[in-house]
Amino acid sequence: MLQFTEIEAAAARLKGVAHRTPVVSSRTLDELLGMQVLMKAENLQRMGAFKFRGGYNSVNVLSDEERSRGVVAFSSGNHAQAVALAARLHGCAATIVMPHDAPALKLAATRGYGAEVIVYDRYKEDRAEIATRLTQERGASLIPPYDHLPVMAGQGTAALELIEDAGPLDALIVCAGGGGFLSGCAVAAKHLLPGIAVFGAEPERGNDMQQSLRSGQLVHIDVPRTICDGQQTQSPGKHPFEVIRALVTDVLTVPDPVVVEAMRFVFERMKLVLEPSGACALAALMHHRERFRGQRVGVTLSGGNIGIDRFVALVTGTERVD
């Protein structure tokens, strides 16, 4: 199981490379929800999301010989960009397997970082099988998006920084896809604040993590139909779930329209742009506010990679969300 020492080591590797993103707050939000909310603005991280932490750490721990053979990753977008950028910073080749319907901004950014992008149909093809075949053919190293200890350790540095900068918290809410971010943050938070309650957050239509945690075993679902494209996972990763089952209190789900409300609030009141998955943890807090009244709550704003046209369509209601 992931250890706190691995997160500390990842923090040392990331120092001076990753941004130490700010912890932001809003008096209006605190008054609205009846609590103090401290938000880790990972939308301001390099490549626009927390994923840079795990991607860079995973490439950095490889040997020079391994990096010379390149890396392969599969992702709906943010891990793709993270690994592509990390590979470029280390001078190695990257091949990224991405769904053909991934946001155009994320496809373009991944290619812009110098990666070769191979697209697939997420509803008909298995991305892990495609990536595994590529690693075998090319002798490259596979860097999965969440079921990988170096990724989990890198992601956990966000919670480490949040607690160092914000001080004691009663609860922490982290968006959950495959569980790499949630598990890494849970290990860091529970080590630094043993009494903290850690929660995951995911869209109602993609509640594989909630079902898995509550049943005590991995649950597999169909590809979720949700605006939260970064959370269209079908089942948690095995390594993250080991941590989550041990350390996470519960997983909160949120309807897509509430995610849009959170995106709109943060833009209007805090002048920050979030993609849907990046707003999921805050949306979950808004949706389940009664559970946290009077508490001091940490929240991850996990990413801001969304095109202007899609963002405007969502927050103005031009694109219908139900």
Catalytic residues, by residue number, are 51, 76, 202, 206, 208, 302
DSSP three-state, residue 175: strand
DSSP string, 270-302: H-----HHHHHHHHHHHHTGGGGTT-EEEEEE-
- Tell me which residue of 311, 262, 305, 316 sits closest to 285, measured CA to CA: 262
Q: Please count the CA atoms within 13 angstroms of the CA of 173 that sit on its side-chain side.
A: 29
Please count the helices (runs of H) and the strands (runs of E) in the chain.
14, 10
Q: Which residue, among 319, 228, 231, has the nearest Cα to 274 in the 3D structure?
A: 228
Helix (H, G, I), strand (E, B) or coil at 264: helix
Answer positive or negative: Cα dihedral of 88, 117, 238, 226.
Answer: positive
User: What ranges in 61-126 are assigned the alpha helix state H?
Assistant: 64-68, 78-90, 104-112
